[in-house]
Structure 1
């Protein structure tokens, strides 16, 4: 045999060896990865008569160190099925099962009385250990079905943000929250147990051509410990003040990453069907709009400073009221302070001073700047049913409606839109894109990381820094008479107390919305906190209710993230 023939045979043999090796690798992959669940299901069918093939992508929280914590996943258990035609004594069967299961006697006997019904569910979502105990009894007419369902390890944590999965017809789909927004990404085809290996490898390419959404997992920006702390503070607020509802948002005012968002009342995602009122599923942080009152004053002050009509030292005479045409606007307590500066207008939250700033501004400039803050548009956060604001008063020719808008009455928007606007004061004057999704990891191996766009500029950095300085002065000297000033960190903040609009116009007697927003460190902030509580009892002002809770939250954030001191 010459060398040429030898090499030719060697190539042929090598080709077949490589082909056989590839076949073995593919076969092992199919057995262990693609069809592994199928064979596991078959092994369990010694006493399981049916297999639930439900699958869905995972939603993760993101810890500060980058670790991922499951927020929504699929878990496996069993349901107990009764065939009524195979039961001799329902009472005896009930006695046997009651030692293991918590069964409603009346409901069980009603189901057992049905004539030859092969599929009556008497218990579901039970563990394998419980299923094994029942199987060991070898009860006539009883069998187990393997069951899969959506499981939320945190229970009620971030409930309105995550949403849940429920049946719509014969399909299980995402309802509310992230589950709904990314339903196409999280959904899995239920016939994938025997999917072709090469189809799986090239699924990303095929979905690109077909227009189908790529399947994947969602990694959110929510930090679970921050989320837990915020939820605890909201519960404390409601418990202490008997509020109708409360809510809060914590985000990075530069990147727009939302670290936590929560509202009360809330519910347990694992038992969502047991709520009395389905309105609790809604997320008021994006779906509801409010008149926020005095927390809007720093935004208007920034416009005045930007346009050069006032400075922090500009003074005026405060008589306790100001006439706007035929209308009269009062301070919250109807008291005058005499000659005061713009700094004191913020410190003491004087409506008259804010009307002065608005009147010094060109009406067109005032409207354009307020709309540039994002009032009247959606924030763009990845949640369904986001509400548009009610800001028609900014377009009004009536002076009084522009005047009241200057201190946050007569215009309404969602807490998320408000947080977005406040961020412009914190980050040097630009509008951010608040977002919940850090990354999407696709099943085919690709990923989509959220990019942080350059925000549109609303005010100059100089105007932003000056208002921040004024708000630091407010926290250091005026809020709680300066008792909450931190020696090592600067905090910029403002409270607001607003009347609550009635459903048929006007305002509800004796009902107010209390709000606080603050950011820290004030001149290079990592966190912006917005807290509100609706109709607290026994407290007139936000400084009594949400301000203490907000300060506790800010202190927690500084400690938890080990933020270096800035003073």
Structure 2
């Protein structure tokens, strides 16, 4: 009887334990299956990474500036193929690499070897050739390199990416957090020896593409500007050159160029001084006469001069304290109005304006126009320039500052300041990025015009524009004259300063121009460093470049020809020009009897002129031909 009770107790205990085991198995196999499977896979898996897809960089119209190009990368798992020597010798021939160095890398005691740099970013042809060999333990991961459809265009602004795809300079660096993508990954499941596990499917982790950065740059304008800079570099054998195009009404940078340039994919082949220096924001130098626009604006605003009704006599120099400050014209300009002071870029006249303003007031305007600090443009590497301290700003320093000597500014500071002087007095922050959009099309950030402050009145700005248009029609900027577009502007010629001393025979020549003068929509600044083979004046070298740029990009900006422009006065040596007469409706006989002295080429067999080229009232030289087309 006692034995039966014991057997019954053992059976009950066995039954309870069996139930417990079954419940535990159900819990493990069914309820916690996915969790435990995931934990197991973490111990089994080996990931082959795909390179992260960086976001694109686009121009203001959505045209691609920087994209991505497929570039495979090789990975090797030593546990799956112990014959590293054979693998190395096979790959060395295809990759054009050293077999011994490859063997050394492939023999590492690790679960996976990334074959780099030899097997990183290989060509599709190489990848296809390797795939045909079916080498055990060798895998091809997907990677990307940056693709530049416009080649060297905008290189100093864009910057470049490094070995790991991270932004190292320029826009690539400044907006790396947005551009950086996370790559996809293939998950292989293996045992401790790296042997693939049977009956376990490989997995896949999906990454995220980086966001695209849309710039304010207009690629069509950029290509025109860069072409002009490269031509100037060749023609004048210059050390370097730079250019900026901005919409003065908004602060949008439409073009930003430096020369010489480089290809971002080959940045390691050029001197770091080229790829590390985005000249329009990095370079600082004495502005020369382009800075006189600020002195002019302050003088008009404070009513210390009258451009038309007040005269000034220039003997060729002015004495300030113990210094004798000369005009660029040694014999002086003699008696002139203050408008002519501006047209002639007369240094003594601008010293007088500065003296009438007083040191404190002049300094205040210089600060109000944004000098002495960065513009906050968001462009990497921007400098802030150098101004005189208040303690060092004596009478001579005040005088030289009035005509742009002794201080150091950046090109982008000058563009920001002159934009305010001509747009009605509004100081806008220059900006280069228009918007940032993620891979799904969602806008992450947008950038709008940002008004910093009002620096002068609209009335003063009108007078500044009129004076600078007169500089181009009648003064030192006549080489920038563009018929019908009403170009205004100012020349600049500054001797280079090296280690605190002026360098003989080396100058930075510049010109800042805008159009149309009645309602400015384009502001163009060009500076050429140490030009040769020519007279080193901004009016001779830089002004014609700006004139050509404005003429070519005006249609892109939607600018049409204006009326009521100041006509360019003829001076000895100028090309003789005429306005095209209206010949439409006339017969051949009538044209002959009018005694026109132009070269006229007839097209068609009719008697009456139906239309003509160039158009009526176009400015042409005496050697140009008028083409007329009959009915």
Is contact 2:215-2:434 (8 Å) kept? yes
Is contact 1:305-1:463 (8 Å) kept? yes
Partner of 2:454: 457
Query: Helix, strand or coil: the match of 2:539?
Result: coil
The 2-side partners of 1:442 and 1:240 are apart by 44
2:108 matched to 1:108?
A: no
Query: Helix, strand or coil: the match of 2:381?
Result: coil
1:522 to 517, 520, 538: 517
The 1-side partners of 2:422 and 2:313 are apart by 30
2:328 matched to 1:332?
A: yes
Is contact 2:480-2:545 (8 Å) kept? no
| 329-338 vs 248-257, which moves further | 329-338
Query: Helix, strand or coil: the match of 2:475?
Result: helix
The 2-side partners of 1:161 and 1:181 are apart by 10
The TM-score normalised by the length of structure 1 is 0.79
Give 1:316 deviation, angstroms.
1.4
Give 1:144 deviation, angstroms.
3.9
The 2-side partners of 1:140 and 1:537 are apart by 63
How do residues 46-125 of structure 1 correspond to structure 2 at under 5 angstroms? Answer: 50-63=48-61, 68-79=62-73, 85-88=83-86, 97=94, 103=96, 107-109=97-99, 111=101, 114=104, 117=107, 120-121=115-116, 122-125=118-121
Is contact 1:367-1:395 (8 Å) kept? no
Q: Flag the 1:441–1:139 CA change in 2: closer, same or farther, 3 A.
A: closer
Give 1:436 deviation, angstroms.
0.7
The 2-side partners of 1:383 and 1:215 are apart by 20
Give 1:279 deviation, angstroms.
4.7
Give 1:334 deviation, angstroms.
2.1
Partner of 1:238: 233
Deviation readout 1:40-83 (Å, 9 max, x if unpaired):
xxxxxxxxx944232322221123xxxx1222233222245789
Q: Flag the 1:146–1:390 CA change in 2: closer, same or farther, 3 A.
A: same
More helix as a share of residues: 1
1:472 to 469, 472, 488: 469
The 2-side partners of 1:115 and 1:530 are apart by 53
Deviation readout 1:337-374 (Å, 9 max, x if unpaired):
21112222222211111111111113221111111111
1:216 to 207, 211, 215: 211
Deviation readout 1:120-172 (Å, 9 max, x if unpaired):
443543443442244335579976443222333322211121122225xxx64
Partner of 2:502: 507
Q: Flag the 1:119–1:489 CA change in 2: closer, same or farther, 3 A.
A: closer
2:437 matched to 1:441?
A: yes
1:399 to 395, 400, 412: 395
Is contact 1:85-1:141 (8 Å) kept? no
Is contact 2:267-2:275 (8 Å) kept? no
Give 1:88 deviation, angstroms.
4.7
Deviation readout 1:449-472 (Å, 9 max, x if unpaired):
212233411111111111111111
Partner of 1:173: 166
The 2-side partners of 1:319 and 1:487 are apart by 34
Query: Helix, strand or coil: the match of 1:440?
Result: strand
The 1-side partners of 2:356 and 2:324 are apart by 18
The 2-side partners of 1:287 and 1:115 are apart by 42
Partner of 2:627: none
The TM-score normalised by the length of structure 2 is 0.71
Partner of 1:34: none
Q: Flag the 1:368–1:408 CA change in 2: closer, same or farther, 3 A.
A: same
How do residues 119-268 of structure 1 correspond to structure 2 at under 5 angstroms? Answer: 120-121=115-116, 122-136=118-132, 144-167=140-163, 172-190=165-183, 216-268=211-263
Deviation readout 1:364-418 (Å, 9 max, x if unpaired):
2111111111111211101123211211256634100000001101111111111
The 2-side partners of 1:312 and 1:533 are apart by 31
Give 1:257 deviation, angstroms.
0.6
The 2-side partners of 1:115 and 1:490 are apart by 67
Query: Helix, strand or coil: the match of 1:565?
Result: coil
Q: Flag the 1:437–1:113 CA change in 2: closer, same or farther, 3 A.
A: closer
Q: Flag the 1:359–1:196 CA change in 2: closer, same or farther, 3 A.
A: same
Query: Helix, strand or coil: the match of 1:246?
Result: strand
Unaligned runs of 5+ in 2: 1-46, 108-112, 187-202, 564-631
Partner of 1:381: 377
The 1-side partners of 2:184 and 2:49 are apart by 12
Give 1:527 deviation, angstroms.
0.7
Is contact 2:435-2:445 (8 Å) kept? yes
2:559 matched to 1:563?
A: yes
Is contact 1:248-1:530 (8 Å) kept? yes
Is contact 1:475-1:484 (8 Å) kept? yes
Structure exhibiting the larger radius of gyration computed from Cα positions: 2
Give the alignment's Cα RMSD to 1 decimal.
3.1
1:312 to 303, 307, 314: 307
Q: Which structure would you say has the larger RCO, counting Cα contacts within 8 Å and 6 or more residues apart?
A: 1
2:280 matched to 1:285?
A: yes
Deviation readout 1:238-283 (Å, 9 max, x if unpaired):
1111111110100100111111101122221112222233553221
Query: Helix, strand or coil: the match of 1:317?
Result: strand
The 2-side partners of 1:433 and 1:274 are apart by 35
